[in-house]
Structure 1
Amino acid sequence: MPRASTAAWARPWSLGFDLIVAAALGALQTAAHVYTEFWWLQLLCVGMLAWRACVAEPARAFAIGLTFGTAWLVAGTWWMFISMHQYGGLPAWMAAAAVLALSAVLSLYLGTALLLFARWRSARPLPDALLFASLWLLAELARGVLFTGFPWVASGYAHVDGPLAKLAPWIGVYGIGAVAAFLAAWVALARPRIGVRRTAGIVVAAGLLGYVDAHTGPVKFTTPTGTLDVTLLQGNIPQEEKFASEHQGAALEWHVNGMLSARSDLVLAPETAVPFLPQQMPEGFWAGLRERFASGRTHALFGVPLGDDRSGYTNSAVGFAPGRPEYRYDKHHLVPFGEFIPPGFRWFTQMMNIPLGDFNRGALEAPSFAVRSERVAPNICYEDLFGEELAARFRHPATAPTMFANLSNIGWFGDTIAVDQHLNISRMRSLEFQRPMLRATNTGATAVIDHRGHVAQGLKPYTRGVLDGAVQGREGLTPFAAWAARYSLWPLAAFAVAAVLLLRWWSRRR
């Protein structure tokens, strides 16, 4: 197969310079995951990546993809260093090496995708852009699903405030990432063939798309249900005090007082707001708390560990409601090294001074917590990162959630970009399902997100406060909710594989 015509116009670069540029691009694009108004920056960086892969031999393309991906993940998840070093007690060099090693291993998927792209490209911009996007999609799905998955800073999150956000209720965050990769690659790979007329056409088309985006909203697949008055608690408990016995009593007292003083329909407290097992609490405390919400209008939903040595432990949320039995939700998607220890890594977790363990996993299709006429679907910590798992609760439309509630504590990661990233992840879930998301967190971001992904109300991170607000539930299914509920992410994977096979067949026929 002849090499792409772009090789003639691409200035030869040394391997070292190629890798430096790839690392810079990978790190730079992560800015769009925090400052989402710069969504175009992600397109620029991916377009440059596609261009360099197009003019590279397969082995170099693999190295470029591996470097780009490693820098992408290090820049996007460097805050894991804080949890391992500052709170876990690992030496700084070891914590840094762990972040780098994890990022490099997860970037093998992208490196492999670019290797195959360099080997299979056809030297035609449109088919090659489709091939690039399909392989990009497969790489992101692999990182997000295999070995429990770690899709943090997946490329689609950079577009939560961009024009591609309108695609969220149709194809979800991975689909948005693939469309962005296609557009970026198509422009980049067509560069040597773009003349004055084509340039003018692209400018006019971009202008029209911008106008349409600015003057139209997303298709409405859901309709309003009822409105709840809500109270969200943000305790801002320092992480070093969270599980220290001398401080736990004060933390518990603040959260309990906040719940008892709430006069709204629903009060939410964060993950492990109650840091004790029920059997560790003073006699009568748990029963008294439950009795407080046995009458009146206020419902309470809060994070608490549950279990015992015989049956195992769970990271859970408990709900108290007037006139109804106690509600319980057990976290389904556990955090590797935090809530379960992968085989062969116990030696690593034993080096850290963090309360780690092997927790039991809750059900995937968990029932919602009923509050008046609304169905509130809890998720804990980074469970809202896995939209395909939240979609499982929409398998039966009659009992589907009308709103989400995320209970989190990311105080492990200090005053970092993790708070803004997690907020944008929740916003993407609201866009995909057209459901509001309530966030009650320890250090932030505590917020009410409406069904359009907009932050309607919020507290300043790293402050102690109580947020009183209102949220309107929604019913109905978006296309994403409908197909992901039945088939998870398999339709996207099948589309990507089919596209690669068809493009390979077409290329061979040529």
Structure 2
Amino acid sequence: MAEPIDSSARETASRNAASGASGRNGAARRTLPAWHYLGAAALGALNTLSFAPTPNGGWLAIAIFAAFYLWLTRTAGWKSALFTGWAFGFGNFVTGVWWLYVSMHFYGGMPAPLAGAAVALFALYLGLYPALAACIWSFCAGHASNGRAGDRPFSPTWHGAFAFASAWALGEWARGYVFTGFPWLSIGYTQVDGPLAGFAPIAGVYGVGWVLALIAALVVEALVRAWALKHQSSGHQPDATAQAHPRAPRVAVVVPAAAALALIATGLLLTNVSWTQPANTPLNVRLLQGNVKQDMKFSEAGMNAALDEFQKLITEKPADLIVTPETAIPVLLQEMPQPFARAIRHFADSTGTAILFGAVGGTVTQDGRVVDFTNSLFGITPGQPGLYRYDKHHLVPFGEFIPWGFHWFVNLMNIPLGDFARGAPVQPPFLVHNQPVAANICYEDIFGEEIARTVRENPTAPGVLINSTNLGWFGNTIALDQHLQMARMRSLETGRPMLRATNTGATAAIDARGRVIARLPVYTVGSLDVRIEGTTGYTPYVRTGNNTVIAISLLMLAFGFAFGPGRLGRGKAADKR
């Protein structure tokens, strides 16, 4: 019996020497090799393939998140968990939002090395949120105190599964809120065509992400317990993973696997539930795509070309409603050429066509100056004087307002930027016949809570959502399909159709179930003619917003921190002393 003990002692001593670190009371701590973090970054990069334009990426997202959770359970305490989450996030974001390089370098004129460095730094910042989620999971799953050389490897548990889902959902919510928010690539978006889409009307994109993370963790728990059971039944000396489960009955394998399958089945069944109902007369809508070249849009020649192009597109044929892209008319409203203004007003009045067009708004002072510029949509109602106006509320940092201390960065680019004024959070809809239509501009439609609030708090609840945008800054990249995917999630969350008029793509019509019913090819000039039916009623998500998933996640994490295995284990150790 002496030899195994001596061998074990030598192995422990070797690990201690290799660790090069000491914990409390001199106990050596396990460290992870560099390839562990490189593997996490590779998984993050692979996760980008779960999002559009990959078809059926929802299943891939579940598999990748299961691999990531399994990778996370290898960590040796909260610090290594934090850096594992950070590496995963960096890999995901540096590959998922690389199209920012296009806007900064090709259109902004920023030197290529500086633009690349800016994207990398931004990805490092965004990676802080997965890092924070992994760190919180480590504490609330009882894993933060792990990591001494003699400790057994952490093993997936039910407790850890709920902590992982809750920490991840809160991390994504925080990323969509802090510093005006950037919720791009939230994992729930992968499910618009996936098995968990049915949860979107109940808990929104963060709730879908919560369910996805929980499923992934439960799958890992079942696999690890099955592996332990296999080693026990084989009669061979169990490895470290098997030792973590000295008794692993078959029910410990079946129950988490069954729970994961039940969640998937529930998501599939929920897609058959109709949370809203058709309302009012269907509308014949024309969505315009001008394909105006971004590098000449704000030159005099470019503005004249845009005015000519959109006058032709608007007056080509009538409809109940015609929608142009964001700032399709690239001039201040008060400076709009009279021939253009008279032409579209005459067309609206003579054909009964309502027109919603994008331009720059402003407020005229008593001395004739124009102040408080806005990124706006203006609506013409046939036969009625005056204009409807929607002013963009959620402005883009660096694009529509310059954060304090960053003017030096903006000066490196040749993009015309300014500090726009904000519109109200909830603005009245544009009434087309008897159908109220709620407008939003550019990336406002990636903030589900704000769209839900517009539906919930509006005195006249809109039945149709319209997004007017210009993604020409980002070229023919994955940004176009990713933005369309997020718009589809808004339809799922609210139970309302979403119409998108864009400059270069993706111009599309989405029905109340999140399905694309028509779409124009990108980087073409044309109009998309669709017949759309509005809806009425509120989904559970519209009623509660993100409050449901936030409350559940906080409750789960608080319970885990107070009564989790780590704290209970420390309490038992103290009792023995």
TM-score bin (small chain): over 0.9
Look up the SS of the partner of 2:544 in the other structure: helix
Residue 374 to residue 69, structure 1, CA distance change in 2 (3 Å): same
Q: Which amino acid aligns with 2:376?
A: S
Q: Where in structure 2 are the equivalents of 1:240-255 lying within 5 Å? A: 240-255=295-310
**Residues 1:436 and 2:490 are matched in the alignment:** no
Post-superposition shift, 1:395?
A: 2.7
Residue in structure 2 matched with residue 505 of structure 1 by the alignment: 562
Structure 2, unmatched stretches of 5+, are 1-29, 143-154, 231-249, 364-368, 570-577
Instruction: Give the structure 2 partner of residue 319 of structure 1.
Output: 379
CA offsets per residue over residues 176-218 of structure 1, 9 Å max, x none?
0111011111222443212474566777777777677667733
The Cα offsets for residues 20-53 of structure 1, whole Å up to 9 and x where unpaired, read as: 1111110111111111402122122222222222
State the secondary structure of the residue aligned to 2:286: strand
AA partner of residue 34 (structure 2): G
C-alpha separation between the residues in 2 aligned to 1:141 and 1:119? 19
* Structure 1 residues 420-453: Cα deviation after superposition (integer angstroms, max 9, x where no partner): 1011111000000110011110111111110011
Question: Of 107, 114, 137, which residue of structure 2 is paired with 1:117?
Answer: 137
Find 1:86's aligned residue among 87, 106, 112.
Answer: 106
Q: 1:97-127 CA deviation, whole Å, 9 max, x = no partner?
A: 1111111112112212212322332356111
1:39 aligned onto 2:71: no
Question: The residue matched to 2:196 in structure 1 has which SS?
Answer: helix
Aligned to 2:56, the other structure's residue is in SS state helix
TM-score (ref. length: structure 1): 0.92
CA RMSD of aligned residues (A): 2.1
Per-residue Cα deviation, 1:246-270 (whole angstroms, up to 9, x for no partner): 1221121111121122311001110
Q: Which of 355, 359, 367 does residue 300 from structure 1 map onto?
A: 355
* Superposition map of 1:276-425 within 5 A: 276-283=331-338, 285-307=340-362, 310-324=370-384, 325-396=386-457, 399-425=460-486
Distance across 2 between alignment mates of 1:422 and 1:370: 26
Deviates further, 414-423 or 234-243? 234-243
Please give the alpha-carbon distance, in whole angstroms, between the structure 2 residues aligned to 1:202 and 1:490. 27
Please tell me the residue identity of whatever aligns with 1:343: W
Instruction: State the Cα distance separating 1:492 from its structure 2 match.
Output: 2.7
Q: CA deviation at 1:289?
A: 3.1
Matches within 5 A, 1:248-267: 248-267=303-322
* Distance change in 2, residues 1:313/1:211 (3 Å): closer
The letter for the 2-side match of 1:142 is A
Amino acid at match of 1:80: L
Distance 2:535 2:304 in 1: 38
Q: Which residue of 1 aligns with 2:47?
A: 29
Judge which range, 301-310 or 115-124, deviates more: 115-124
Determine which of 273, 290, 293 is the counterpart of 1:219: 273
Contact map agreement 2:156 2:224 (CA 8 A) in 1:
no
Aligned pairs for 1:181-260 (under 5 A) are 181-194=213-226, 195=229, 197=250, 217-225=271-279, 226-260=281-315
1:73 paired residue number: 93
SS of the residue 1:186 aligns to: helix
Say if 1:266 and 1:299, in contact at 8 Å, map to a contact too. yes
Contact kept, 8 Å, 2:354 with 2:432, in 1: the verdict is yes
Q: Give the distance between the partners of 1:482 and 1:36, measured in 2 at CA.
A: 31
The CA distance in 1 between the partners of 2:449 and 2:158, in whole Å, is 30
User: Could you list the runs of 5+ residues in structure 1 that have no partner in the other structure?
Assistant: 1-11
Shift of residue 398 of structure 1?
5.6
Name the CA distance, whole Å, in 1 between partners of 2:66 and 2:370.
54
Amino acid at match of 1:43: I
C-alpha displacement of 1:393 = 1.6
The Cα offsets for residues 108-158 of structure 1, whole Å up to 9 and x where unpaired, read as 122122123223323561110001111111110110001100001111001
Does 1:494 find its partner at 2:574?
no
Deviates more, 1:297-306 or 1:121-130: 121-130
Runs of at least 4 residues of structure 1 off by over 4 A? 195-216
Question: Of residues 194, 204, 209 in structure 2, which corresponds to 1:172?
Answer: 204
User: Does the Cα contact within 8 Å between 1:54 and 1:189 map onto a contact in 2?
Assistant: no
Structure-2 change in CA distance of 1:126 and 1:234 (3 Å): same
Aligned to 1:463: 524
Aligned to 1:317, the other structure's residue is in SS state strand
Query: Which TM-score applies when normalising by structure 2?
Result: 0.82
Moved more, 339-348 or 230-239: 230-239
AA at the equivalent of 1:26: G
Larger radius of gyration: 2
Question: Is the Cα contact below 8 Å between 1:138 and 1:493 reproduced in 2?
Answer: yes
Give the drift of 1:391.
1.3
Partner of residue 130, structure 1: 162
1:54 pairs, out of 65, 73, 87, with 73
C-alpha separation in 1, matches of 2:525 and 2:109? 26
Q: Is the 8 A contact 2:196 2:264 kept in 1?
A: no
Question: Do the aligned partners of residues 126 and 215 (structure 1) sit closer, same or farther apart at CA in structure 2, a change above 3 Å counting?
Answer: closer
Aligned partner of 1:7 in structure 2 is none
Structure 2 letter corresponding to 1:168? A
Rounded Cα–Cα distance in structure 2 between residues aligned with 1:396 and 1:51: 42
1:63-120 alpha-carbon deviations (Å, 9 max, x no partner): 1111110111111110000000000010111101111111111211221221232233
Q: Secondary structure at the match of 2:377?
A: strand
Q: 3-state SS of the aligned residue for 2:349?
A: coil
Please tell me whether the aligned partners of residues 36 and 158 of structure 1 are also in contact (alpha carbons under 8 angstroms).
Answer: no
Paired-residue identity, %: 44
Q: Which residue of the other structure, out of 146, 156, 177, is the alignment partner of 2:178?
A: 146
Moved more, 36-45 or 135-144: 36-45
In the other structure, the counterpart of 1:159 is 191
CA separation in 1, counterparts of 2:169 and 2:263?
24
Deviating more after overlay: 290-299 vs 443-452: 290-299
Contact 1:26 1:72 in 2 (8 A): yes
Q: How many residues align?
A: 495
Q: Is this contact kept in 1: 2:218–2:260, CA < 8 A?
A: no
